[in-house]
Amino acid sequence: MWFSGESGEIVAAVPANESIPVAMSVKSKDQVRFELNLNYDDPFLKRLKRRKRATSGNKAKPPAKKVQKTKVEVPKIIWPQVQFNGVIKAKTGQSTVALITIDGHSVVLKNGEEFKGVKLLEIGNGQILLQYKKEKRTIVK
């Protein structure tokens, strides 16, 4: 069974094996009025009532457990004294080395080389990228 609105769109559908309680009244010869007998509980409102009862019960809530927050201190990495002195580029431009002073020792390093635990990752324009114990730093000349 289908119910349609004023403009012809389908408003509701009921399976053929179910019925809807309807009251019919006649106002005049041309006008017939149908009303639904809605004398049953709304299933959607029942769900809301159940939720309200469950949340507003008289049962005392157990006290909330206090969670102690502890700060996990990450050990600060103490870097050796590092100074970037400059870059030397080959005329062909294929090999580039950096002049670095680490704890008073002047060294010449290529990309990927390491001295006293300090690894040279990248040589840039006026700066280098170093790594020491999983921590990276950019040193500017």
pTM for the complete prediction?
Answer: 0.47
Domain membership flag for residue 33: yes
Contact in structure between 115 and 102 (CB atoms under 8 Å): yes
Domain total of the chain: 2
Q: Which domain holds residue 24?
A: 2-55
The verdict on 88 and 135 lying in the same domain is: yes
Domain membership flag for residue 60: no
Contact in structure between 85 and 99 (CB atoms under 8 Å): yes
Structure confidence by residue, pLDDT tens digits, 60-117: 677 777 888 888 887 888 999 999 999 998 888 778 999 999 999 999 999 999 999 9
Domain membership flag for residue 112: yes
The verdict on 95 and 45 lying in the same domain is: no
Q: Confidence class of residue 57 from pLDDT cuts 50, 70 and 90?
A: low
Distance of alpha carbon 36 from alpha carbon 21, whole angstroms: 6
Write down the pLDDT at residue 75: 81
